[in-house]
Chain A
């Protein structure tokens, strides 16, 4: 059982050679590449951070003023998509984190006794359809659940 970081210097390090080799090869390639010594940089730009903000929210009017970077793409759609993705990831992590107790889903964020708040019922709604996936760890998993039933939400914090 791996409980914490522990430096091991045995044969399990062998695959690491691959990483080193990859570094050597890539470094050789990079050093053989004729990059231009000049960096274009952002000369004459007032605020790069502001420009990033303009690009991210499609503020074209502001982009075209003096001292800005003219031909940056618009990223509003990507921004929204990322927002949705993050939301989905949050939901996913909640689904993954919740446990089942004797077939009943236990809300990951709910403390014992107050499992009927909004978040808990939403999570249990998802869990109902996901029961078989959550239990495919086998019987060992369910015993673990039973063992740890006295400590709900301990891992999700």
Chain B
């Protein structure tokens, strides 16, 4: 008795949209980082679910790589937030708008 693939996909979508919701509504850069993690993991769920669905191991391995990349991303992201805070004394993403036109 296995769970049908639809539910995995719906789960990953829900996770993704939650992450998206965070990005769209939050202003704290740290929250942004967390939301992005959520979205990445939504992708991971998809990868693993479809790996299982197709009986192919590639998706599983790929999910591992995604996690590694997420770690790298967090490292850089945190560094950026650090600089952000140092320069603006704030981690509100709506404050640093000087790099537009």
Q: Do chains A and B touch in the complex (CB under 8 A)?
A: yes
Contact of B55 among A40, A73, A75 (CB under 8 A): A40
Q: A-B contact count, CB below 8 Å?
A: 146
User: What B residues does A51 contact at CB under 8 A?
Assistant: 57
Contact assessment for A89 and B72 in the assembled complex, using a CB-CB cutoff below 8 Å: yes
Known contacts A2-B92, A141-B87: does B2 contact A85 (CB below 8 Å)? no
CB-CB nearest in chain A for B93? A2
How far, in whole Å, are A11 and B58 apart by their CA atoms in the complex? 43
Shortest distance between the CB of A115 and any CB in chain B (Å)? 18
Contact assessment for B75 and A41 in the assembled complex, using a CB-CB cutoff below 8 Å: no
Interface string of B5-25 (1 = CB under 8 A from A): 110011001101110110011
User: What B residues does A52 contact at CB under 8 A?
Assistant: 57, 60-61, 64
Residue A90, interface by CB 8 Å: yes
Contact of A20 among B17, B28, B54, B55 (CB under 8 A): B17
Question: Which residues does A use to contact B, with CB under 8 Å?
Answer: 1-2, 5, 8, 12-13, 15-16, 18-20, 22-23, 26-27, 30-31, 33, 35-37, 39-43, 48, 51-52, 55-56, 69, 71-73, 75, 78-79, 82, 85-86, 88-90, 92-97, 99, 134, 137-138, 140-141, 144-145, 148, 155-156
Q: What 4 additional pairs, Cβ within 8 angstroms, besides A19-B20, A23-B17?
A: A15-B25, A22-B17, A94-B79, A95-B79
Question: Which residues does B use to contact A, with CB under 8 Å?
Answer: 2, 4-6, 9-10, 13-14, 16-18, 20-21, 24-25, 27-28, 31, 52-58, 60-61, 64-65, 68-69, 71-73, 75-76, 78-80, 82-83, 85-92
